[in-house]
Structure 1
Amino acid sequence: MAPAYHPRAVATYCHTGDGGQWWSFDDAWSIGRKTAWLRSKGLLGAMIWEMSGDAGVLTNALDTGLR
């Protein structure tokens, strides 16, 4: 199933199918929204929990969003 977006929660999510699991995760869309909020508050950085599976898309979104 393709990811869906919840604008109010700033969450990207999907369901793995019948009897499956719900997943929520950050992607370039959610990172862009979150970094826009950080900038609007005059904050200068973000905390990252874990990005070992990132091929550069999330890191680039974070870098772009904080500039």
Structure 2
Amino acid sequence: MRVTIDQDKCCGAGSCVLSAPEVFDQREEDGIVLLLDAEPPAALHGAVHEAAAICPAAAITVEQTERG
């Protein structure tokens, strides 16, 4: 799995951080998403997919890779 974010789309809702805090964080000054782990372990894949699905701005993209 490979995760990418589009900070220009991010509205700072924070739902991604609530779903997968090991993978996402927010900038203190404006709440914009920060990507902590672009290739999270398999144990976090469900949480990352959930974060992408509930993101109100569709700022998270998840791609499947050969490794997962």
TM-score using structure 1 length: 0.31
Bigger helix share: 1
Higher relative contact order (CA 8 A, sep 6+): 2
